[in-house]
Amino acid sequence: MKIARFSRVGFILAAAGSAVGLGNIWKFPYIAGEYGGGAFVLVYLITVMLIGFSVMIAELLIGYLGRSDAASSFVKISSTHKSFWLAGAIMAMAGLLIMTFYSVVIGWILNYIFVALTSLPASVDEAKSVFTQMIDSSILTQIFFHTVAFVLISAVVARGIKGGIERLNMVLMPLLFVIVGGMFLYALSLDGFSKAVDFMFMPDWSKLNSEAFVTAVGHAFFTLSLGMGALLTYAASLPKNSNLVSNTLIVVALDTGIALVAGLMLFTFLYEYGAEPSSGPGLVFISLPAVFYEMGTIGTVFAVLFFFALAFAGLTSAVSLVEPMVQIGIDKFKMSRLKSSISMGLFFYLIGIVVILSGSSEFKETLTWGGKNLFDWIDFITASIMLPLGGLMMAIFVGFVMRRSQVEAVLKPQLGRFFEIWYFSLRFIAPAALFVVALHLLGVA
């Protein structure tokens, strides 16, 4: 297979583009809000340090050495373990499953760019009714914007790693950094900032039940784009002699940095204007627009910029969720890139429509089981189960299936005396931690 390679900066922006997504700006603040802030944030940060970091190096290594898609790379590295192909393919499918709701949320965001441009809701109650109406009854509006998202994403992926994905990230990621950075600086000048810091960094352990714990660990994987082969697939296009460790450091730092900065900014705005941090998935769609309205003119400007930034974050992540399966379609099923992009796109697009229906008042009941609708189920199964399992599989593959000498050859020069620590944490600490998560999961499900 001929692969067009990323440039060095192109890879970093694409990998950071994958990691920094709706998870950072939409999901992280609302789940942190739901589970009470500090303690949740701490579990998430510890997971990032303890598991996320070492698993990311392993995931990059598999792509870098395998130089193939998310399923074949395992077999290329260790031809005696053919069963990893299927495991890798199932792992990559998680990306399309995530896309079934991710694309829907990108659609909401595109819709909200128009809301921000035309008229922001004047109160939280009004904002609530704008959002609820979109979810409950504006099925066609949602399908329309979900379609726009599907077309945009498929068009980029169809242009390939260099001409599509790298170019998209080279433009959108710097814009995203500037917008979020600028709004954060403004938030720094407000009184609400110190309350936001308290909320995010003062742990209240009584709030940390099993469910919060599982969600925090799942979120660490989700936000770092770990455990489904997205970064693996990108790493297959790394230039020769790339430093996997420094790439990992930069991506983890950017992702964590943006999550904390975006969270602090959002909670500052909310506290400043007396809104509640715990309003669920509607947080950035309900509380925030009402707050932007209160802020006057600058608020309207912020609102438009904010939803653009959110759309950029979402799109650069979405392409990485689709690309692994597109690559498998090309390699294994000999499809053209165009055909593979359209097929994989249609998969998430069509199920995405059912996801939209599962939130509407008309079909909600039919599409809800055990208190979770289709949207919540897919989110739960992918983030809390499939991604950690994928991470576990990659940790085992690099830690136990690959020969130590194979791993050392690449990583010893890059990690130096930290190699032993990394290798130990990948083989024992990460699997043990994921095992604890699995036990908690049994309690949650």
Kindly list the residues in this chain that would bind ligand TRP in the complex (CB under 6 A): 18-19, 21-24, 95, 98, 222-223, 225, 228, 230, 317, 320-321, 387
CA 172 – CA 415 distance, rounded (Å)? 31
Nearer to ligand TRP, 97 or 187 (CB): 97
What residue type is 252 in one-letter code?
V
Smallest distance, Å, CB 63 to ligand TRP? 13
DSSP conformation letters of 230-279: HHHHHHTTPPTT--HHHHHHHHHHHHHHHHHHHHHHHHHHHHHTT--S--
Q: Strand 372-373 relative to strand 368-369: parallel, antiparallel, unpaired?
A: antiparallel
Nearer to ligand TRP, 295 or 319 (CB): 319
Smallest distance, Å, CB 198 to ligand TRP? 25
Nearer to ligand TRP, 23 or 36 (CB): 23
Token pair 């669920």 is found at: 280
What residue type is 105 in one-letter code?
V
CA 376 – CA 382 distance, rounded (Å)? 10
Q: Decide: 181 and 173 in contact? Cβ < 8 Å.
A: no
Nearer to ligand TRP, 24 or 414 (CB): 24
Smallest distance, Å, CB 28 to ligand TRP? 8
- SS3 of 356-411: the string is HHHHCCCCCCCCEECCEEHHHHHHHHHHHHHHHHHHHHHHHHHHHHCCHHHHHHHH
Nearer to ligand TRP, 21 or 299 (CB): 21
Smallest distance, Å, CB 347 to ligand TRP? 16
Tokens of 218: 């799942």
Smallest distance, Å, CB 152 to ligand TRP? 16
Smallest distance, Å, CB 190 to ligand TRP? 26
Phi-psi map region of 369: left, alpha, beta (phi>0 left; psi -120 to 50 alpha): beta
Smallest distance, Å, CB 47 to ligand TRP? 14
Nearer to ligand TRP, 223 or 425 (CB): 223
Nearer to ligand TRP, 183 or 252 (CB): 252
Q: Decide: 99 and 324 in contact? Cβ < 8 Å.
A: no
Smallest distance, Å, CB 18 to ligand TRP? 5
Nearer to ligand TRP, 275 or 383 (CB): 383
Tokens of 44: 């998430």
CB atoms within 10 A of CB 300: 16
Nearer to ligand TRP, 272 or 379 (CB): 379
Interacting residues of 367 by C-beta distance below 8 A, sequence separation 6+? 354, 357, 358, 373, 374
CA 372 – CA 48 distance, rounded (Å)? 27
Smallest distance, Å, CB 326 to ligand TRP? 13
